[in-house]
Amino acid sequence: MYKFIDLFAGIGGFHLAFHRLGAECVFACEWDKHARKTYERNFKKMSPELFRKKKFYGDINSIKDIDTEISDFQILTAGFPCQPFSQAGFKKGFADTRGTLFFNIAEILRIKKPEAFFLENVRGLLNHNNGETFATIKKVIEEDLGYSFHWQIVRASDFGLPQLRPRLFMVGFKDKKIDFEFPTPIKTKMTMSDVWGGDCSRTIGFTLRCGGRGSRINDRRNWDAYLVDGKVKRLSPDEGKKMQGFPDNFVFPVSNVEAMKQLGNSVAVNAIQAVGAEIIKILDTSFNPTVQFNAHTSNISKMAVHARKLTPTPLH
């Protein structure tokens, strides 16, 4: 069984996607107290050892000894916040990332040396700080840490979810010879009418956000109001879960306002799962070739096929 860590975990979109693929989460961190409450409520039964061993941290900076506090793992996942580096970042590389949250990721990669990583961020990271932030990240990963670096803008609607939500996905491997390709988009079958259970005027929904709710339906800033069966309706967590790929039994032990904020900050689970399936498929053949002959890989292969279908499964 592959092991992964879930950094800047939010409400656990990465966790859910990789659990569906048969991997085990051995370390996670999330500083927001409300998101932590949602994460623990939904994953304590799914990944009991994570909580029993007290491996669900708050502030990532509270890690004192990366080597001993973080269990060994093969895949690092993170939906990390975007922070500016100095204008000299492209020249300084690794040293220039100190003081930013990306530095924590880089340090963990440097010390633990996992087989692969999977990072997610907003599309704007590409041009952030005149492109120097992305250039620094790429340089650190490729030149300073020795990993490969593949990136692509991926939309939630490319993998079965009815919202655009373009996000920057970054994937890399310790073995730089690995030829990675992002999965081919599939036709979206779910529409906003399916989400609402009624006739919606939009087939693909607006990208969920974490703020700015309540604009009029004709306002260009509107993202949470829809015309359904001829009436204006606003998104609730029930619709938001469907749009992000969370199962119906995913629970929010917080207010609806907080739940919508958490959904707006989350990753699109189906898109993460589709890319995660490709990562695992590659590791099956390159990380440990003999694994393809055992029952584990047979199970992984079935789950990878399931990821193609991308039908939400309930939490266990």
| 3-class DSSP string for the chain | CCEEEEECCCCCHHHHHHHHCCCEEEEEECCCHHHHHHHHHHHCCCCHHHHHCCCEECCHHHCCCHHHHCCCCCEEEECCCCCCCCCCHHHHHHHHHCCCHHHHHHHHHHHHCCCEEEEEEEHHHHHHHHHHHHHHHHHHHHHHCCCCCEEEEEEHHHHCCCECCEEEEEEEECCCCCCCCCCCCCCCCCCHHHHHCCCECCCCECCCCCCCCCCCCCCCCCCCEEEECCEEEECCHHHHHHHHCCCCCCCCCCCHHHHHHHHHHCCCHHHHHHHHHHHHHHHHHHCCHHHHHCHHHHHHHHHHHHHHHCCCCCCC
Class of the domain covering 3-184+268-309: alpha beta
Q: Does 311 have pLDDT greater than 50?
A: no
Q: Does 313 have pLDDT greater than 50?
A: no
How many Å apart are CA 14 and CA 23, to the nearest integer? 11
Answer with the residue of higher pLDDT: 192 or 306. Answer: 192
Residue 298: its pLDDT value, please?
Answer: 43
Q: Does 289 have pLDDT greater than 60?
A: no
Instruction: Please give the mean pLDDT across all residues of the chain.
Output: 88
Residue 173: its pLDDT value, please?
Answer: 98
- pLDDT tens, residue by residue, 138-151: 999 999 999 999 99
Specify the length of the chain in residues: 316
What is the mean pLDDT of the segment spanning 66-86?
A: 86
Query: CA distances (Å), 237 to each of 114, 161, 252, in order?
Result: 35, 15, 8
Q: Which of 183, 194, 185 is nearest to 164 (CA)?
A: 185
- pLDDT tens, residue by residue, 252-284: 999 999 999 999 999 999 999 999 999 999 999
pLDDT grade, residue 81 (50/70/90)? confident
What is the mean pLDDT of the segment spanning 158-165?
A: 95
pLDDT grade, residue 291 (50/70/90)? very low
Q: Which of 27, 34, 113 is nearest to 63 (CA)?
A: 27
Q: Does 39 have pLDDT greater than 90?
A: yes
CA dihedral 264, 270, 274, 280 (to 10 degrees): 80
Q: Does 299 have pLDDT greater than 50?
A: no
What is the mean pLDDT of the segment spanning 31-43?
A: 97
Q: Does 303 have pLDDT greater than 50?
A: no
How many Å apart are CA 50 and CA 70, to the nearest integer? 11
Answer with the residue of higher pLDDT: 112 or 210. Answer: 112
What is the mean pLDDT of the segment spanning 53-78?
A: 96
Residue 84: its pLDDT value, please?
Answer: 59
User: Which residues are catalytically annotated?
Assistant: 82
What is the mean pLDDT of the segment spanning 223-239?
A: 97
How many Å apart are CA 20 and CA 18, to the nearest integer? 5
Answer with the residue of higher pLDDT: 263 or 85. Answer: 263
Query: CA distances (Å), 202 to each of 108, 205, 226, 243, 271, in order?
Result: 43, 6, 8, 13, 21
Q: Which of 263, 249, 239 is nearest to 312 (CA)?
A: 249
Answer with the residue of higher pLDDT: 302 or 149. Answer: 149
The pLDDT > 90 percentage for the chain reads 75
Kindly list the domain boundaries of the chain, sorted by start residue.
Answer: 3-184+268-309, 192-264
